[in-house]
Amino acid sequence: MCMALALDYIGFIIVSNSFKSNFESFINDVTWNTDIKRFILLSSEALLYLLAYKTKDRLSLSTIIESLIGFGNPVVSNNIIEEFDDV
């Protein structure tokens, strides 16, 4: 028996110590011309804060994803602190 799996959305989270240039035109080109619908540029420091808040506050994966999608690129530690510090 063969089952087909349909993916509605394909996205990437790119983690780096820092982002030195503006990737907006690249991101726009990729999301408009491929099946990739989301790029999130996440600093490694922001990822560490996100992990700390997830562990401390037991945040759900859906809460984290919704927040990351709502931020502009790149996502830095201040974005994470401002979003989850009062949780």
Would you state the pLDDT for residue 41? 92
Cis peptide preceding 74, ω within 30 of 0:
yes
pLDDT of residue 23: 81
Q: What tens digit of pLDDT does each residue of 2-40 get?
A: 555 555 667 889 999 988 777 888 888 888 998 888 889
On the question of pLDDT at 62 being above 60, the answer is yes
